[in-house]
């Protein structure tokens, strides 16, 4: 019954509750009077499940309605089986998606919600809903890497320092220097990017924020010392972040001829709202014009399209694509290049 009651402003009447209970178990029989008494006394007054009844609504047009309607208060405490079937399906989709985004330690924190979704879907099995829990999947677009492993205790210490605005004492494996460094960090925020998650923080007396991969922390301890916030602005920081390297600070206009199959995809999932794709005379390929960020991700995306695109502008991107393509061809035509690089 608790699972059938929605959160405010949605509501369900006592008649609807009784009918829904009978549908789940035809042998379950309860009068409307007993149902109302259980909602009022046992569940609300005695166990304080934060239920609210329409008769207590300040609006008389609502309070005088019969039968009474019930809902959880908007602030109802977590941990109750409040998930509807649609919410449970959404949670199942989220689980599959987040497996490719969050480290295992973070996913473990969400496991109770995933488990509740599974139970709800299992309980709704019937001839019309046979095995629907097994028929919901989320698949990444492109090759997905396994999430980098993050120590659970380290994650908890980082989260505590970030939320409580405390300094963080860490040992961090520097990728550039290949050595373990002891640092005092001032946490600013968390960014999830593909299979890795990053802590944005300033180190020591420096005020400029940097990013630190969570899986490279070898130890972390939240100190009882306030951190320095420096009026950090995440939206302003991200375009300049080192893990999103930009070729410039503005957008660039891409002009390209694209294969019809690629045109179909970009019409359904455009690069931006102002993107245009227009037919060309006497050819099957179409003309793409769109403004995109001037960053390395744009260039990598173009490289991944291979023979489905012929880039026309901007010239610097055309040159970069040609140069990269020639280097790839050279690797296959002359494998000794790899041996020479190894010797260097």
Interval 211-221: pLDDT, tens:
899 899 999 99
pLDDT (0 to 100) of residue 130: 47
198 in a structural domain: yes
- Same domain, residue pair 165 and 201: yes
Range of the domain at 14: 2-72
Predicted confidence (pLDDT) per residue in 66-75, tens digit:
888 888 877 6
Inside any domain, residue 112: yes
pLDDT digits (tens, 9 = 90+) for 137-151: 666 677 777 777 888
- The answer to whether 249 and 296 have CB atoms below 8 angstroms apart is no
Res. 90: pLDDT tops 50:
yes
Domain boundary among 221, 240, 259: 240
Supply the pLDDT for residue 94: 79
pLDDT at 31: 85
- Indicate which CATH number applies to the domain containing 205: 2.30.30
For residue 13, give both structure tokens.
Answer: 């009447």
Domain boundary among 31, 46, 72: 72
Q: What is the pLDDT of residues 96-131, one digit of tens each?
A: 767 656 666 667 777 777 877 777 777 665 545 545
Q: How far apart are CA 120 and CA 96, in angstroms?
A: 17
Q: How many domains does the chain have?
A: 4
Domain ends where: 189, 212, 240? 240
Specify the 3-state DSSP secondary structure of 63: helix
Residue 186 within a domain: yes
Residue 128 sits in the same domain as residue 194: no
Same domain, 112 and 163: no
Three-class SS string for 298-328?
HHHHHHHHHHHEEEEECHHHHHHHHHHHHHH
Residues 205 and 280 in one domain: no
**Tell me, what's the pLDDT at 248?**
57
Q: Is 154 left (phi over 0), alpha (psi -120 to 50) or beta?
A: alpha
Mean of pLDDT over the chain: 80
Are the C-beta atoms of 195 and 100 separated by less than 8 Å?
yes
Q: Are strands 166-174 and 179-193 parallel, antiparallel or unpaired?
A: antiparallel
Are 285 and 233 contained in the same domain? no
Give the lowest-confidence range in 22-26, 220-224, 245-249, 259-263. Answer: 245-249
Please check the confidence at residue 8 and state whether its pLDDT lies above 50.
yes
Give whichever of 119-123, 197-201, 314-318 has the largest mean pLDDT: 314-318
Note whether residue 95 is domain-resident: yes
Residue 344 resides in a domain: no
Q: What is the CATH number of the domain that holds 268?
A: 3.30.70
Q: How far is CA 217 from CA 153, 181, 196, 206, 208, in A?
A: 11, 10, 12, 19, 20
Question: 236 with 260, same domain?
Answer: no
3-state secondary structure of 216: helix
Q: How confident is the model at residue 25 (pLDDT cuts 50, 70, 90)?
A: confident
Residue 19, in any domain of the structure: yes
Specify the pTM: 0.57
Whether residue 343 is contained in a domain is answered as no
Do 48 and 98 lie in one domain? The reply is: no
102 and 160 together in one domain:
no
């Amino acid at each position: 019954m608790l699972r059938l009651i929605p959160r405010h402003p949605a509501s369900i009447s006592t008649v609807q509750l009784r009918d829904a209970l009978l549908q789940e178990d035809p042998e379950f029989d309860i009068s409307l009077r007993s149902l109302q008494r259980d909602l009022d006394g046992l569940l609300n007054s005695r166990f304080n499940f934060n239920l609210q009844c329409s008769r207590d609504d300040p609006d008389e047009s609502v309070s005088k309605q019969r039968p009474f309607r019930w809902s959880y208060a908007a602030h109802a405490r977590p941990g109750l089986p409040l998930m509807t079937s649609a919410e449970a399906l959404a949670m199942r989709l989220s689980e599959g998606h987040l497996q490719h985004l969050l480290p295992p330690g973070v996913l473990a924190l969400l496991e109770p919600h995933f488990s509740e979704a599974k139970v709800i879907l299992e309980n709704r099995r019937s001839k019309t809903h046979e095995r629907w829990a097994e028929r919901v999947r989320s698949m990444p677009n492109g090759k997905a890497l396994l999430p980098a492993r993050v120590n659970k205790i380290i994650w908890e210490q980082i989260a505590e320092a970030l939320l409580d605005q405390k300094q963080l004492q860490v040992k961090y494996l520097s990728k550039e220097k290949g050595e373990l460094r002891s640092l005092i960090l001032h946490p600013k925020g968390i960014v999830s990017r593909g299979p890795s998650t990053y802590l944005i923080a300033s180190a020591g007396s420096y005020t400029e924020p940097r990013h630190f991969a969570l899986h490279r922390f070898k130890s972390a301890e939240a100190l009882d010392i306030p951190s320095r916030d420096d009026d950090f602005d995440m939206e302003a920081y991200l375009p300049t972040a080192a893990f999103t390297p930009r070729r410039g600070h503005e957008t660039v206009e891409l002009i390209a001829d694209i294969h019809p199959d690629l045109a179909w995809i970009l019409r359904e999932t455009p690069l931006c709202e102002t993107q245009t794709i227009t037919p060309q005379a006497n050819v099957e390929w179409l003309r793409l014009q769109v403004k995109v960020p001037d960053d390395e991700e744009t260039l990598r995306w173009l490289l991944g399209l291979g023979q489905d695109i012929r880039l026309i502008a901007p010239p610097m991107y055309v040159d970069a694509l040609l140069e990269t393509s020639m280097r790839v061809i050279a690797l296959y035509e002359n494998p000794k290049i790899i041996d020479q690089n190894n010797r260097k």
